[in-house]
Chains A and B, each alone.
Chain A
Amino acid sequence: MKKLLITSLVLALAGCSLLMPKKVEANTNINGTVESRCTVNTDTVGYYGNPNAYTLTTLPASAGQVPIVRIDSSLANAYKAQISYPTSFSSSPSLSDTVVWTGAVAVAQTSSTDMSGYQAASTTADGGAMRIYPLTIAGTTWFSVSSQATYGGGQQKAFPGGSYTAVVVAECVAQ
């Protein structure tokens, strides 16, 4: 009887050990934030002029205004600026015909003479709508973005009346 009890106890313990997990673990988070050493701000808001029925343009000569984007980088060779002129309206009346988009991105002003080579060193992407500038010097750079939209393709069709909005995308991306 005693042997039977001892055997039962051993079996019970063995069964318990089989039910227990093989290891115990806990996940502890380590949190952190990175504040970008590059900031992007709108220096001058742009708007379209409407020199004729089928054209919207930011040219000052056509009563438009070229938007200026300011990018500040406090760290040299750490970021690149990616700026695109618009290729579509973000809001507009319903358009039944095509819109032809043209535009240009250029360095308008810098905070250092050493940045004067930024435009020459830039590259394009997205079919030329995006221009990429390696920010090799710490400081501030102002970019101008001109934009023009012509309605009706080559047919010079009048834009429907209403409010039109297009967006310039400017980013500071870590290299």
Chain B
Amino acid sequence: MIRLLALWALLQQPSYSSSYIFGYTGNAALDSLSWTMTTPILGVSVEEGLDISGVIYNYTAVKEVEDDFTVTIQNENVDGGYIFQETDDWSGKHGMRIQKVIPLPYTPIEEFGDGSIATTGTGSVEDASVLYMYRFDGCRNPQNDKSCPGYVEPMPVIPKIEIYDALDDDAVIDATEKTDSDLYEKEEEEERKEEDEEEDENRLELAMAASENALTIANSVSQSVLLQTINNATNVNTYYAAKVPGGIYRESISLDGGEVVDNRKALRSLAQDNLHNQMIEEQYK
């Protein structure tokens, strides 16, 4: 029973095999004594899954025996500091060609910053070569291969269809601009509306400015009027205080006979006026 379970468990394992690829990069120091860890420089695709396991370097130190000279091969760490540094001290030694292998724990390429060969003292470095040993895990990113566990079928790319809008066509715009009266009127109407709105705005601005001025003027005028009223009151009071001699003016006119008769001519005139009005109204019936 246990054997059967073990067999079943084995069958459940994914069918892919190890997809590691091992190799060496190109010479990173081919063109310069400092370099970036990029695909064009290393000659391999720098992507997720690429781990560096060591560095092989060689160069020729050109110097006099008595001169002090050190050469440091190094790679920065993107998080600060260095991933590795190897220093060769040539001080007091014959300059010659040297080759070294620096083993490293498998380190993702993403952690590698720029590389360089730095020197101190008197001397120079010639014919430098820096190779990185790598291991590429093709399934670190499952989308690299259909056989990788966790692979997800990619969504098909939906082509973008551009809809032709004749109204956006310059040729159509040019063709219709001068001949279509509706477009003319519409444009004119819009222009008129814009002008009206602009005029309203200007008017409103003027009105607001005028009211502001009016308030300012009224404020000063009301003060002067108030002063004038006070002065007038002061001046008029002298007249109120004056005394008119006699005090009472009696009716001095009297009507003779005591009866007032109606004017008959006036009534006739009124009848004519009435007739005249009727004749005018007849015109509108």
Which A residues are within 8 Å of any B CB, using their own CB?
107-114, 116-117, 119-120, 140, 142
Contact = CB atoms under 8 A, between A and B. Distances in A.
Contact of B88 (A113, A120, A140): A113
12 contacts: A108-B97, A109-B99, A110-B97, A110-B98, A111-B98, A113-B98, A114-B93, A116-B94, A116-B96, A119-B94, A120-B94, A140-B99
A107 B96 contact: yes
Nearest to B90: A113
Given A109-B97, A120-B94, 18 more contacts: A108-B97, A109-B58, A109-B96, A109-B98, A109-B99, A112-B98, A112-B100, A113-B61, A116-B90, A116-B93, A116-B94, A116-B95, A116-B96, A117-B93, A117-B94, A119-B94, A119-B96, A140-B99
Interface string B87-121: 01110011111111100000000000000000000
Contacts of B58: 109
Contacts of B101: 111
A142 B89 CA distance: 20
A119 B98 CA distance: 14
Do most interface residues of chain A lie in helix, strand or loop, or is the interface mixed?
mixed
Nearest to A107: B96
Contacts of A109: 58, 96-99
Contacts of B61: 113
Interface of B: 58, 61, 88-90, 93-101
A108 B95 CA distance: 11
Contacts of B97: 108-110
Contacts of A112: 98, 100
A21 to B, nearest CB: 63
A109 B101 CA distance: 13
Contacts of B89: 113
A116 B94 CA distance: 5
Contacts of A108: 97
A113 B99 contact: no
Contacts of A142: 99
A169 B99 CA distance: 23
Contact of B99 (A111, A116, A117): A111
Nearest to A108: B97
Q: Which of B61, B95, B96, B100 has the most CB of A within 10 A?
A: B96
A112 B98 CA distance: 7
A116 B64 CA distance: 12
A109 to B, nearest CB: 4
Nearest to A109: B97
Nearest to B58: A109
Q: Which of A109, A120, A140, A142 has the most CB of B within 10 A?
A: A109
A140 B89 CA distance: 17
Contacts of A116: 90, 93-96
A113 B69 CA distance: 11
A120 B55 CA distance: 29
A154 to B, nearest CB: 35
Contacts of A140: 99
A136 to B, nearest CB: 13
A109 B61 CA distance: 11
The 6 tightest CB contacts between A and B, nearest first, are A116-B94, A109-B97, A116-B93, A113-B88, A116-B96, A109-B99
A107 B97 CA distance: 9
Nearest to B60: A109
Contacts of B94: 116-117, 119-120
A113 B89 CA distance: 7
Nearest to A117: B94
B93 A111 contact: no
Contacts of A119: 94, 96
B228 to A, nearest CB: 112
Contacts of A113: 61, 88-90, 93, 98
A65 to B, nearest CB: 17
Contacts of B98: 109-113
A70 to B, nearest CB: 10
A98 B95 CA distance: 39
B6 to A, nearest CB: 42
Nearest to B71: A113
Nearest to B98: A110
